[in-house]
A and B are shown apart, each in its own frame.
Chain A
Amino acid sequence: MPAGLDNLKHIVVLMMENRSFDHMLGGLSLVMENGHKKYPKINGLTGDESNPDTNGAIVKVQPNAKFQGQLDPDPDHHFPGVDLQIFGDAPPGPGRAANMQGFVKDYFTQTNDVNRSHNIMYYFTPDKLPVLSTLATQFAIFNGWFSSIPGPTICNRAFAHYGTSFGQVGMDIFYILDPIPSIYDRLIQAGHTAKIYYYDQQSSTMEIVNLLKNQPQIFGTYSQFIADCNANKLPEYSFIEPGYNDHPGPGDGEILASDQHPDHNVQEGERFIANTYNAIRTNPDLWKSTALLIVYDEHGGIYDHVVPPVCTPDGYFAKPADTGTGEPFNFDRLGVRVPAVLVSPYIPRGTVVPGPEDPANARIFEHACIPATVTSCFLNGDAKRTVREKQANTFLDLLSGPMRPDSEIPFFRLGGK
C-alpha cells in the first residue's frame, strides 16, 4: 500500500459555492514560462472560447473577473437555465448536442442588460486567487470534476452526503424515502467518526435539514473544527460548510460570507480556504494523515467550456413539471464542471487528473465520488447506496508518492484586515 494510504486517518471535504472551473482556474492554462505553457495538462482556457449574446455578437472569455460586484443579480443556475447554458438555443428533446453556448443569453434573462450579460464570461487570472491556484498547481487538480446535476445547490450538495438527491433537481426540501443512509450514518453506525462543521449558528447548515433534525450530535462549528485540528481530535471524516451570509460578529465584528457564492467576496473565500488548509498543514501529525478535498457544489451559472458527460443514473426520475423544461430527467448526465483540488503531502507536485480532453485516460468525477471514496476508505465499500455511487470513481489513489519534504509545501500567511 502506498505510504499516503497507509498513513491516512482523516478525509476533510470543503465544499464552496457556485463558481465554475474556467472562472476560477481556467486562467492557469494561459500562464506562460520560457515561451511555453507552464501547465500544459490543465484543461483550462485558450482565450478564444466564446458565447453569442442576445444581439448575436460574439463574446470571448476575458480575464476581467472581480472579487465582488460583477455577478449581481445572481446568475441563473436552476435546471431550465442550466439547460439553456449547456445546449444553447436547441429546444429540449432527444438528439440535441451540448455546445456550452447559452451562458451569456441566459445571464441576459437575469440582467436585461446586454453589456452586463457579458460578465458571465469573465475569469480570474491566477495571481488574483493565490490560494486556490497554488493548491491546484502544488497538489492535484481535476480536469473532469462536474457538479452532479445541471441544477442548483440543494440537490447537488445532497449527492455529497447521500450519493443521490432522491429525485430532486431543485431547491425544495427533500426527505429520505429510501433506506440509503447518509455517509455520516454509515460511518457512525459502523463505529467510525464523522462530523459536519458549519460556520456558525447564524450561517448554519444548508441542505441537510434531515440530518439537522435527527442528528444534532454530528454537527459542529468551524471554530470547533479549528480546535479539533489543534487538539488532534479531528474525526475520520469531516465536511466543512463555509459562511453563507454576512452577519454581525462578536462585539462590533463583521463576519463576511466565505462561500464565494455570487455576489459574496471571493477574497474572503480564499482566506477561508487558506485558513482551513493551514489548520491541517501546521499540525505535523494531522498533515501526514489527512487528505483535504476542496470542491465547489455547482458552477453558479458561470461559463465553462467543457461539455458535461453522460453518467450512470442513480435510479431516480424527475418529472417534466419538476425540471421546468417540459422534459423529464433521468439523472443520466452531469452538471457543469467545477473546481476540485485534492491536497495531501503524498500527492506529487503538479498532478493533473485527466478529464474528457483525454478520452483514453479520462477519469470523471462528481459529488457522488465523495461518499464513494469515504465508504471505500473507511468501510471497505460496505454500505447500501445507489448504483451511481457504486460506480463512481474514488480519488485516494492519488496519494501515490512518498511524503514530500516540508520545505516544498506551501504555507499561507493571511494579511491583516
Chain B
Amino acid sequence: MATPANAILVPATEKGSYNPSRSAGALLKAQTLHLREALLKHLEELAAVLAIDPKSLKTEGEVSAYIHRATAILHSHSAKPARK
C-alpha cells in the first residue's frame, strides 16, 4: 500500500537518546535474575540426565526413556526463536 498523502508524521526520536551506559533499573535486574533461575533449573535437568551411565541401560524401555530426556534437552537448546 502506498503511503497516503495525509499520513500522520511520527517524528524521529530525539538524537542523543541512545544510552547503553544507563544504569540498569529494577526491572532489567529482575529479568536477569529470572533468566538465571531458569538456567539453573535447566542445568539441574541436564545434570540429572548426565548422571545416568548409558552403559547401565539394558532394556529398550530404559533406553527409550533416556533418549526421550536427552532429545528434549537438546531440542530446547536448538530452539531458535530469533527468526529474522
A contacts, CB < 8 Å to B: 17, 67-68, 74, 130-131, 134, 152-154, 171-173, 198, 200-201, 204, 206-207, 209, 212-213, 216-217, 219-221, 223-224, 227, 244-248, 254, 256, 261, 263, 265, 267-268, 270-271, 274, 282, 284, 410-417
Contacting pair A256 B17 (CB below 8 A): yes
B12, chain A: closest CB distance, angstroms: 4
In the complex the two chains form, is B3's CB within 8 Å of A213's CB? no
Pair A263/B12 contact, Cβ less than 8 Å: no
With A152-B26, A254-B18, A265-B14 already in contact, the answer to whether A412 and B41 are too (CB < 8 A) is no
User: B84 at the A/B interface (Cβ < 8 Å)?
Assistant: yes
B83 touches A410 (CB 8 A): no
- A130–B8 contact, CB under 8 A? yes
Given A213-B41, A216-B81, A410 and B8 contact (CB-CB distance below 8 Å): yes
- A273 nearest in chain B by CB position: B10
Closest to A228 in B: B83
- A219 close to B24 (CB less than 8 A): no
Is B61 an interface residue, CB under 8 A from the partner? no
User: Given the complex of chains A and B, what is the CA–CA distance between A415 and B13 in angstroms?
Assistant: 9
Q: Which of A206, A212, A246, A416 touches B19 (beta carbons < 8 Å)? A: A246
Distance between Cα atoms of A173 and B17 in the complex (Å) = 31
19 cross-chain CB contacts under 8 A: A74-B25, A154-B30, A173-B37, A201-B81, A206-B27, A207-B34, A209-B35, A213-B38, A213-B41, A220-B81, A244-B28, A256-B13, A256-B17, A256-B18, A267-B11, A267-B12, A284-B1, A410-B7, A414-B12
Residues in B whose Cβ lies below 8 Å from that of A17: 27
- Shortest CB-to-CB span from B17 to chain A, Å, is 4
B23 to chain A, nearest CB (A): 9
Question: What does DSSP make chain B's interface, helix, strand, loop or mixed?
Answer: loop
Are A246 and B10 closer than 8 Å at their CB atoms?
no
Q: How far is the CA of A265 from the CA of B84 in the complex (A)?
A: 25
> Ordered nearest first, which 8 A-B pairs have the shortest CB separation?
A216-B79, A413-B7, A219-B81, A265-B17, A254-B18, A171-B30, A267-B13, A209-B34
Whether B33 sits at the interface, judged by CB under 8 Å, is yes
* Contact size range, B: 35 or more
Which of these, A153, A254, A282, A416, contacts B1 with CB under 8 Å? Answer: A282
Q: Which residue of B lies closest to A18 (CB)?
A: B27
User: Does B9 sit at the interface, judged by CB under 8 A?
Assistant: yes
Inter-chain contact A413/B14, CB cutoff 8 Å: no
B76 within 8 A of A: yes
Q: Is the CB of B27 within 8 A of A134?
A: no
B68 contacts A by Cβ under 8 Å: no
Whether B59 sits at the interface, judged by CB under 8 Å, is no
Residues from chain B with Cβ under 8 Å of A152 in the complex: 26-27
Q: Tell me the minimal C-beta distance from B8 to chain A in angstroms.
A: 5
**CB neighbours of A246 from chain B (8 A):** 18-20, 22
Contacts of A220 on B, CB cut-off 8 Å?
81, 83
- Beyond the given A173-B34, A412-B10, could you list 8 further A-B residue pairs with CB under 8 A, ordered by the A residue number? A130-B9, A171-B26, A209-B35, A213-B42, A220-B81, A221-B81, A227-B83, A412-B9
Q: Is B35 a contact of A204 with CB atoms below 8 Å?
A: yes
Q: Which of A131, A171, A201, A223 contacts B27 (CB 8 A)?
A: A171
Given contacts A74-B25, A221-B83, A265 and B37 within 8 Å (CB-CB): no
CB < 8 Å neighbour of B10 from A172, A212, A254, A413: A413
